Amino acid sequence: MVIACADSRVCPSNILGFQPGEVFMIRNIANLVPTMKNGPSECNAALEFAVTTLQVENILVIGHSSCAGIEALMNMQQDREPRNFTHNWVANAKVAKLKTKPATSHLSFDQQCRFCEKVSSVTIILKCRKCCYFGKVKTVSLNLLQESINQSLLNLLSYPWIEDRVRKELVSIHGGYYDFSNCSFEKWTLDFKECNVKEEKNSYIVKEKELWC
């Protein structure tokens, strides 16, 4: 299963060579996954169908460079409510914005957007209420990962029927990033098997990182 941006420059079938019938696909602005608590949407309805009915074994969230959805997110005023459909949607990634803004306040707006898409050498500790399934882990640095993409990957775990399958190793969660400037594609897998439950926060590690040019 692939969750990709609606941007016409991002065609997962062309980028990764998928054939008709091989991939169940969701496309939306900024390739976001809302949490379960946000209520019903086309995205989580498609997720439920793909995971529980089609029994997909892999979920890949693909982000890309120069994402207008991320720019809309970074443009939102912190103290204001979303004022239109687009802002209401990209607000699903506001945690990624909150992580990016303080660390990039000295940079230009365009550079801040790129960091939100692609963050280098950061340590991420994210909340997970049910991570007791996964045991213990040390907090580690994640290199060359996309903040907004990883937030969507974490949001996938808010759905019990995904979290349960990840715990049982029936489903794997992957991130991908397509860079228009050099036609490169990065792909990684997040490992949720080990988790630190202290203060309701979990850390995760990356494995099987690949770069295709």
Annotated binding residues, as ranges? 5, 7, 64, 67
- Residue 144: closest CA among 100, 101, 106, 177: 177
Go through 160-179 and write b for each residue having 16 or more CB atoms within 10 A of its CB, e for each that does not: eebbebbbeeebbbbbbbbb
3-state secondary structure of 32: coil
Give, in order, the Cα–Cα distances in Å from 131 to each of 11, 66, 92, 99, 200: 34, 33, 21, 21, 8
Residue linked to tokens 């775990």: 157
Cβ contact 93:36 at 8 Å: no
Annotation: binding site for Zn(2+): 5, 7, 64, 67
Q: How far apart are CA 113 and CA 80, in angstroms?
A: 19
Measured on CA atoms in the order 166, 167, 170, 176, is the torsion positive or negative?
positive
Nearest to 5 by CA among 190, 144, 147, 177: 177
